Amino acid sequence: MEENIKINFFKKIWYSIARPSRYGDLRKQGVGKAIKYIFSIIAILAIILAIIATVIQLNVVKEAISYLDEKLPEIKFKENTLTLENEEAVILDDSKIIQYFGNAIVINPLLEKQEAINKYKDLVTEKNRVIVFLNNEYVIISDKYNSESENEEGIENKKYEDVSKNFIKDMSYEYGKKDVIEYLKERTSYAYYIAQYFVVYFVTITFLYLIYIILISTSLWLVTKISKFKWTFKDSIMNTIYASTLSMIVYVLYMITSYFTSFKISFLDIISIAIIFVYLYIIIYKQKKEVKK
C-alpha cells in the first residue's frame, strides 16, 4: 500500500531537481499525484511562455497598426467593391507589416488578376507571400509561383463576396481606413493572445514529454526487469516524470532565450533526453548503494 506522505508542490520541484535521494518519497505519493505534478509543471511553464510571447507579439502588433495608420491611404469598401481615393497603387512591404500579417500587402483596384500576378510576383520571398487587393477580389501570390513559373500553383484568389458574408453584416455601409484600424485594435487583447499561446505551448510540451516519458519509462522498466532490479512499471513512470522536471525547465528557458536572441541549438531534443537519463542513472546508482548497505 502506498504511504500518504505529504510533500507540497514546490518541495516536489526541489526534490526532483536537487535531491534525487528523495525520489523514494516522491514515488510513495503515487502515480496519480505524479501525473498531476507533471501537468501542473507544464501548465506553469506554458503560461510563462504565453505571457512572454504575448508581450513580444503585441509590441509587433502595435507597431504594425501604427505603421498602417500612417501609410494606409483612404480606402472605401462597399457592396464587395474596393476603391482607392487617389487611385494610386499602395505597396506595404515593411518588415513590421510582414511580421504581423505574414504577407506584403498591395492595394491596386485598377488591375486585373493576371496583371497583378505579373506585376507583383517579384515581391514574394521565402519569408513572405504577397496579398494583392483588387477591385472585386484579392490574390495571394506565394513563392511556389516563382519556382514553377509555368503554372499558377502558388496562386490563390477569392471574391470579396465569398469572404465578407462571414464578417460584414451591413453590406450597404461604406467601410474605410478608420474601420480597418479600429478592427485591428480591437484584436490586440492580452487575454486573447495569452489564451492562444497557452493552448499552443501546453499542447506542444505535453505531446513532446508524453512521448519522452512513455518511451524512457518503458525502456527503464525493461532494463530493471532484465537486471532484476525491484522497480514496477509504475515506479519507472514516476521516476521518469520527476526526472523530466529539469529537462522541461531547460527546454522552456531555451525557448525564451530564442525569443530575444539568435541563439539556436539544433540538438535540443538530445539534450532534453540526456538530462532525464542522467537523473535516472543517479536514482538507480543511489538505490543500488542503499540495497548493498
Domain boundaries, the chain: 9-53+191-292, 80-171
List own/partner pairs for 125-131 with CB under 8 A and 24 or more apart. Answer: 127/98, 128/93, 128/98, 128/102, 128/103, 128/104, 129/102, 129/103, 129/104, 130/93, 130/103, 130/104, 130/105, 130/106, 131/101, 131/103, 131/104, 131/105, 131/106
> In terms of Cα–Cα distance, which of 110, 132, 111 is closest to 121?
132
Cell 519507472, residue located? 236
pLDDT band, residue 1 (cuts 50/70/90): very low
Region 261-290: what's the mean pLDDT?
A: 84
Tens-digit pLDDT profile for residues 50-72: 999 999 989 989 999 999 999 88
Cell digits for 217? 519509462
Tens-digit pLDDT profile for residues 30-56: 999 999 999 999 999 999 999 999 999
Does pLDDT of 266 surpass 50? yes
Please tell me the pTM assigned to this model. 0.76
Question: Which range has highest mean pLDDT (171-180, 244-253, 282-291)?
Answer: 244-253
pLDDT at residue 92, as a whole number: 92
> In terms of Cα–Cα distance, which of 212, 219, 289, 214 is closest to 247?
212
Q: What is the largest CA-CA distance in the chain?
A: 89
Tens-digit pLDDT profile for residues 108-166: 999 999 999 989 988 988 888 999 999 999 999 987 755 544 455 678 889 988 888 77
